[in-house]
Structure 1
C-alpha cells in the first residue's frame, strides 16, 4: 500500500471510531434516562443542583471505600504589610520592618557603632 492510501484508511478508521463512541454514549445516556424515569426521578434532578454529599453518594462505589491516606494541607494565612520600624539616618527613604535579613545600611550602621534603638522610628 502507498502512504497516501494508508493515510486515507487511517482517517476512515478514526472517523468510524468517533462515530461508534458517539453512538455508544447516546445509548448509555438513554439507559440512564430510562432508569431514572423508572425510579421516579428526572435526570436533571439527579445531576443538576445537587449538594456535595449527594454527589459523593452518587459517585461512591457500593462498598465502603477506604479512608483517604493523605491529609489536606493547611493554607498559610496571608500576612499583610508591616509598618517599618527602622529608618536610615542618612537617607530617610530607606526603611526596614525589622523582619527578614538586615539591609546593608543597617549592618553598616551597626558595624560603625550605632544601635537599633537609635534608628527606631
Structure 2
C-alpha cells in the first residue's frame, strides 16, 4: 500500500494522522488483552488467580489515617501529608504547634 503524502491537503494529512493514531491505539489494546489472557491462563495452570499473584493494584491508593483534627470542627482532619489545610496554617500562624492538633 502506497500513500502519496506529498499531494495530500493539510486536512487530509490530519485526518490520516488521527486514523493512524486510532489504529495504533486499537492494536496496542488488542495486544495487551492477548498478553493479559496468556498471563491469566498461565496463572490458572499453576493453580493461582492473577490477582493472587500480583496482589493489590498499583493504581489503588491506600488510605492513610488522619493524624490531625481541627479543634473547632473535629470533622475536619488532615493526614499530615500534602498541602496543609487553612485551619492548620491559621493555627500555626497564631503561634500554635502541630502537636496541639494531634488526634488522641
TM-score by length of 1: 0.39
Larger Cα Rg: Structure 1 or Structure 2?
1
TM-score by length of 2: 0.46
**1 or 2 for the larger relative contact order (CA 8 Å, sep ≥6)?**
2
